[in-house]
Amino acid sequence: MFDLVLLACAAFVAGLVDAVVGGGGLIQIPAIFAVYPKEVPATLLGTNKLAAVFGTAVAAVKYARRVTVAWSTAAPAALAAFVLSFVGAWTVTRVPGDFVRSLLPLILLAVAVYTFKKKDLGEIHAPLHSGMTERLLATGVGAAIGFYDGFFGPGTGSFLIFLFVRFFGFDFLSASAAAKIVNVACNVSALIWFGYSGHLIWQLGLLMAVCQIGGSLVGTRLALKHGSGFVRKLFLLVVGALIVKTAYDTIHRLGF
């Protein structure tokens, strides 16, 4: 019973954080792995996707009602992410992801340093691209992040927000809204493969989904109320936590 309460609480907090800046997997995935240490990793990742897709979908709907979503960017990115997330999920059931895990702390550190140094980054919504350039760039971003999300996942929402801010000129709030659309596509696609291949604990995933939705509603309300400045601060906090967590995992795995 205690384990279920722990996972329910983790799912709620993950939903809250994920709704604002992504990175809910930082909380939810370690909690699942801690409670089920002997379970097949792909099954735990699949269960995480089942819970996450509900929370992310609710956040996406809430954002779409209050923020003007840049569909010309979000739609092609979501489509590419859907296709490549499936490929990533298929890959993780066959290939270990140690190399990706080892690089992650360095990539996140670069993101954090760049965001911190650029004080005005993401304050103003001034899209940089349009037409075919926008669609091609969005497709490339969606494909890369989609594969990563299906293959591993932690920090996907945070990476998306950073890329939308840095390369598309979005403010943090608009970037978060677009990121949710792409993240839903990633989660649904990966979930199709995990479900088909039997890597799911359905009852646990649905229980955590209910808690994710609750956290997502709270997180979305906070983001919409406090705006891009709040999203930026929480973004840096979550990325910092991701750096510490992934660096620790890498050091521990290498036996130091």
Q: What local confidence, expressed as pLDDT, does residue 100 receive?
A: 59
pLDDT, position 99: 61
DSSP one-letter code for 154: T
Please answer whether residues 27 and 242 qualify as being in contact, where contact means their C-beta atoms are separated by less than 8 angstroms: no
> For position 137, what pLDDT does the model report?
96
Q: What's residue 98's pLDDT?
A: 63
Residue ranges, the chain, pLDDT below 70: 96-101, 103-104, 122, 254-256
pLDDT tens digits, 115-150: 787 777 767 788 888 889 999 999 999 999 999 888
Q: Report the chain's C-alpha Rg in angstroms.
A: 17
3-state secondary structure at position 119? coil
Taking the C-alpha atoms of residue 194 and residue 192, their distance in angstroms, rounded to an integer, is: 6
Q: What is the phi-psi region of residue 29: left when phi exceeds 0, alpha when psi lies from -120 to 50, beta otherwise?
A: alpha
pLDDT value, residue 256: 64
What is the reported pLDDT for 230? Answer: 86
Tell me, letter by letter, the H, E, C secondary structure of 50-115.
Answer: HHHHHHHHHHHHHHHHHCCCCHHHHHHHHHHHHHHHHHHHHHHCCCCCHHHHHHHHHHHHHHHHHH
148-168 tens-digit pLDDT? 888 877 778 888 999 999 999
* CA angle, 155 then 157 then 159, to 5°: 65
Which residues are within 8 A (CB) of 53 and not within 5 positions of it... i.e. 6 or more apart?
184, 187, 188, 191, 209
Q: What percentage of the chain has pLDDT greater than the value 90?
A: 43
Name the 3-class secondary structure at 16: helix
Rounded to whole angstroms, how far apart are CA atoms 8 and 11? 5
pTM of the model: 0.84
CB-based contact 44:50 (threshold 8 Å): no
For residues 216 and 15, give the distance between their C-alpha atoms in angstroms, rounded to a whole number: 5
